[in-house]
Structure 1
Amino acid sequence: MPQITNPILPGFNPDPSILRVGDDYYIATSTFEWFPGVQIHHSRDLANWDLVTRPLNRASQLDMRGDPDSCGVWAPCLTHDGERFWLVYTDVKRKDGSFKDAHNYIVWADTIEGPWSDPIYANSSGFDPSLFHDDDGRKWFVNMAWDHRVRPLLFAGIMLQEFDPVAGKLVGPINNIYQGTDLKLVEGPHLYKRNGWYYLLTAEGGTAYDHACTFARSRTIDGQYETHPDKHILTSKDTPLAAIQRAGHGDIVETPEGKTYLVHLGGRPTTQERRCVLGRETSIQEAYWGEDDWLYIKNGPVPSLHVEVPGTRDEEKYWAEQLYTFENGLHKDFQWLRTPETERIFKTENGKLTLFGRESPGSWFEQALVARRQTHFSYDAETLVDFKPTDERTFAGLTAYYSRYNFFYLTVGAHSDGQRELLIMASEMSWPDGKLRFPAAPVQIPPEGKVKLALTIRGRKLQFFYAMEGEDLQPIGPVLDASLLSDECGGHQAHGSFTGAFVGVAASDLNGTASPAHFDYFIYRPQHDASDRYEV
């Protein structure tokens, strides 16, 4: 059987929920504050995956304006009951401190492409919900429960309640079916049924380097679940040199031939500081059922970098340059922050992407920022912008972005006298005050004409470049530390930053006049580099 190199979904693709319908596999992953919500990838061989939809794409389903960084859509669960697809998800409105405001919803569709329904509100008792379809036709909703009173009771166990699809609500008693192990922080539940056992797969240990997949089972769905004899079927917590770290939060699928696989999140740290610039990615492991009816990971519990799956990955596609033009709208690789009112922040017309300058790069409400995931440790990016700033409060350009507290931004702006200039804004590790740093003096440019903006990232080294249209690129500013655009530097305490690095274009108008910035194209060009651990 062919062997692939993990991850199968590189870059920011955490909390995978996997499903097989016939010969088709689907994985849903978290998108947090990036809109539209939830990424769903499709494969027929477990090796090659294509993004097919982001189902939460209108205001009636999702409005994240005001959601802080790393809030929004957490841990979706994608299932199929033999007739239709079901998706459950959380919209987190607050996560820091003792309280969590986390609202859980259910949507459905007849086909994976949709249209997906408006949501049914389920509950707000915790996060990481999933839906289980029992063989007697009943449906069960599980989520972790949050207790705000005192640690370690914040993660208070896994709650089970029946879902009535006709009534459109949760019904009947609520049972706490599992409190986890001594690793604590039990979350991410998924239910399965096999050989008369109900199985519960959870995540434990937080989202950092103690993360793990824990397995348990019971003869009844609402019974107290006994923990796997090994406790954690997948983890890197005791193996700091493993290529895939932070492994946990998984889901199980079986092939038509009866093979079992587990997909899970994990990070590939670089630098001596162990920074995961690409965020938490989705990897896959082969598993098997023992004679004791427990699931085990082949060569586990440490995740393998190389795994046998039915297909052979198209490596040429992974390394291909992506030239994005806008004749047919915005490419599916791109997302934006929080808002469902896209017409207020961008449009595609006459082959160009126009951004309407809105709030600052630190806003939790309405930023005009359109970007794609960084999926390689080393790459080039380039764009051509036509922008006429009026003063220092109007600027647009190219950004490498993690969060409001961590970004680098090469802008076309103006001095207070209207003189057009280039300026690098840096907000790296600026939590909690969010203050900007300016790594280089402004560079004056002509009052008219398009400006080419580019950056290169080689491992942890980021360099910006610029040129007037038709001229050669030249560097601007010093080499910056790209490794700061990582979960570990995302602006929160441990277990608090959950996304990954993006690169894209942005526009701000702090005067409130929505100044337009026109972009002709965007290039993302992967580069082979010694720092890229994805290379085989």
Structure 2
Amino acid sequence: MQIQNPVLPGFNSDPSIIRVEDTYYIATSTFEWFPGVRIHASKDLVHWNLVKNVLDTTAMLDMKGNPSSGGIWAPDLSYADGKFWLIFTDVKITDGNFKDMKNYLTTAETIEGPWSEPVFVNGVGFDASLFHDEDGRKYLVQQTWDHREYHHPFDGITLTEFDTNTMKLKPETARTIFSGTAVKLVEGPHLYKINGEYFLFAAEGGTIFTHQEVVARSKSLNSMSFVVEPDGPFITNFDTPNSYLQKQGHGALVSTPGGEWYYASLTARPWNHDNESATDPRGWSTLGRETSIQKVEWDDAGWPRVVGGHGGQTFVEAPQDAILTDAPVDHAQHDEFNDTILDINWNTLRVPFTEKMGSTGTGKLTLVGQGSLSNTFDLSLIARRWQAFYFDAETKVKFNPYSYQSMAGLTNYYNHSHWSWIFITKNDDGQNVIEVGENKGGLRNGSYTSYLRDNAPVIPEDIEYVYFKSENRKESYTYYYSFDSENWLSTGVTLDAAILSDDYVVREYGGFFTGAYIGLAAVDYSGYDSTAEFDYFDYKELGDHKDINGTISWQKSESRFY
């Protein structure tokens, strides 16, 4: 078998990988999306199944009002003393000089839970991980934040002993063990003890195209005793602009039962418009930061090296002792909403799906209109990740809007300021019509455009349901509608997919770290609770490497220019 990267396509970033007996687990960041912390499992490192969303109640996680790309940053999963340990950060401020955050710890005897009520740990910095030393001591290892304008904000990696009797840190033991290299922005630390030495893996360069991972080692945990790996960095794509995989860096190390080593890293697969340079901009990563796995070998001096060079490989040799894992061939989803609990692939924003948003079951999803798609407090939206460049998504909706302030339909969504949708609303003549709206760029909350304002299709009075479809073709996507599910009509609106990427948004302001979603939403900012009924949702992947006519245009290649 071969590992084909990315192993977790679509927004699955900052992987923390471990092995418990013959099973590998990866925990990934979820930011403002709820539930928090996704965990995938595999026995072969090739095929993966989503098995758990850990933080699934407001008692465990409440992100109401959190800024976009705040919330859950870089969870750390470990296993010791017969149980799983999960450290996670909830970031409350993302821009400016401050990064107010809280780090928490939860544990469980099995990956499915129940997981314990989170214990507050500290707010020193984000990307915290828990190191279990051979002598039984435990340490929190974390990025350290410095708000002072005359210091660099990434103030090294701090190590603090954790007392399992009191379930609290010992702040008097805190010390900086690594300040990073001249690349700066040191974060995402994971600590290991291998062959009697401590190895610290840490990310640098920011989670953009300058991203990298460095390794340092020491015989002790004393302050500033770590020496950086020569001829590094350990992994980066900064100097491999033609590689299919980009942005590799932040991640974690794991060993197989047979003694082989692998490294799980975040990655991205940018693409360019035909009229753009292939290297500047390096591209638009609409699927967000994904997860790749690289094989690791140890050189004669005892340093870890990525097999094939620090740029990594798309195709990687699987472990010799891999156990074939049954997993779906793609990420297709068809939901007729027969269950009273949302499918594991659905997410909401900041808070869980409750009766305030709507209900599901008996063959329909009901959404009660609340705030606009720019609202960070009250929003009725369920959505799932884009996990392929080429896919179709469609739904069937019944909705009788109160006014133009009432809307319901199908959305392609990145964050509160970058999204679009096709929806039912009411025009000034009191007719139910179909509109396409897009919000993007400009101000902090974006600028809105109504594309069909002069010729919005009127819904015939005898039509109860309207069908919506989004055809996504890597660089762009187009909305369609139908009154009978057979004859599809184009809205004539084709939108630039790049706008729904980290790379586009970060050029305007702040740092953004998620990925594009497709979903269902209802809005009624008039406050009159107009309610929409969705009959089904269908997401069908056409393959990452097919052109608009379905012709395969990419085979086994290490180049992203396919």
TM-score by length of 1: 0.96
2:25 alignment partner in structure 1 = 26
Look up the match of 2:316: 307
Residues 470/289 of structure 1: CA separation in 2 closer, same or farther (3 Å cut)? closer
Look up the match of 1:486. 501
Does residue 371 of the first structure (1) align with residue 356 of the second (2)?
no
The alpha carbon displacement at 1:416 in A equals 4.0
Query: In the TM superposition, what is the alpha-carbon distance from 1:428 to its structure 2 partner?
Result: 2.5
Partner in structure 2 of residue 386 of structure 1:
398
Which residue of the partner structure matches residue 205 of structure 2?
Answer: 205
* 2:393/2:470 contact within 8 Å kept: yes
SS of residue in 1 equivalent to 2:371: coil
In 2, the alpha carbon distance for the partners of 1:489 and 1:361 equals 19
* Mean CA deviation greater in 309-318 or 328-337: 309-318
CA contact (8 A) 1:156 1:179 kept: yes
Contact between 2:44 and 2:325, CA under 8 Å: does it hold in 1?
A: no
1:337 to 329, 349, 363: 349
Most deviating of 319-328 and 143-152? 319-328
Determine the C-alpha separation between the residues in 2 that align with 1:7 and 1:454: 27
Match of 2:466? 451
- Aligned match for 2:488, one of 467, 470, 473: 473
Q: 1:462 aligns with which of 467, 470, 477?
A: 477
2:113 is aligned to 114
Deviation at 1:173, TM superposition (A): 1.7
What is the correspondence of 1:1-20 to structure 2 with a 5 Å cutoff? 2-20=1-19
Q: How many residue pairs were aligned?
A: 535
CA distance in 2, matches of 1:363, 1:334: 19
User: In angstroms, what is the RMSD of aligned CA positions?
Assistant: 1.9
Q: Hey, what's the Cα distance between the residues in 1 that align with 2:72 and 2:388? A: 24
Residues 206 and 495, structure 1, Cα contact 8 Å, conserved in 2: no
How far the C-alpha of 1:130 sits from its partner, in A, is 0.3
Using the alignment, how far apart are the partners of 1:533 and 1:438 within structure 2?
35
Residue in structure 2 matched with residue 434 of structure 1 by the alignment: 446
Is the partner of 2:328 in helix, strand or coil?
A: helix
CA distance in 2, matches of 1:511, 1:398: 20
Distance in 2, Cα, partners of 1:425 & 1:502: 16
Task: Name the aligned partner's letter for residue 349 of structure 1.
Answer: G
1:421 maps to a residue whose letter is V
Deviation of 1:57 (Å)? 0.8
2:327 aligned with 1:327, yes or no? no
Distance (whole Å) between structure 2 residues aligned to residue 498 and residue 36 of structure 1: 17
- Matches for 1:84-483 after TM superposition, within 5 Å: 84-150=83-149, 153-171=152-170, 172-224=172-224, 225-271=226-272, 272=276, 273=281, 274-310=283-319, 317-319=328-330, 321-328=332-339, 329-340=341-352, 342-441=354-453, 442-447=456-461, 448-483=463-498
* Structure 2 Cα separation of the partners of residues 107 and 394 of structure 1: 41
Please list the CA deviations of residues 109-136 of structure 1 after superposition, one character each: whole Å capped at 9, or x if unmatched.
1110111111111111110000011111
Instruction: Report the CA distance between 1:446 and its aligned residue.
Output: 2.4
For residues 167 and 306 of structure 2, what CA distance do their matches in structure 1 show?
Answer: 37
Q: Give the match's secondary structure for 1:241.
A: coil
Does residue 507 in structure 1 map to residue 516 in structure 2? no
In 2, the alpha carbon distance for the partners of 1:152 and 1:395 equals 47
Which residues of structure 1 form unaligned runs of 5+?
none
Return the letter of the residue paired with 2:175.
Answer: N
Q: Does 1:81 align with 2:90?
A: no
Structure 1 residue 470 displacement after superposition: 4.8
Amino acid at match of 1:294: W
Contact 2:125–2:145 under 8 Å retained in 1: yes
Structure 1 segment 42-61 matched on structure 2, within 5 A:
42-61=41-60
User: Per-residue deviation at 1:201?
Assistant: 0.4
Name the aligned partner's letter for residue 129 of structure 1: A
Give the Å deviation of 1:440.
2.5
- Inter-partner Cα distance in structure 2 for 1:365 and 1:313: 44
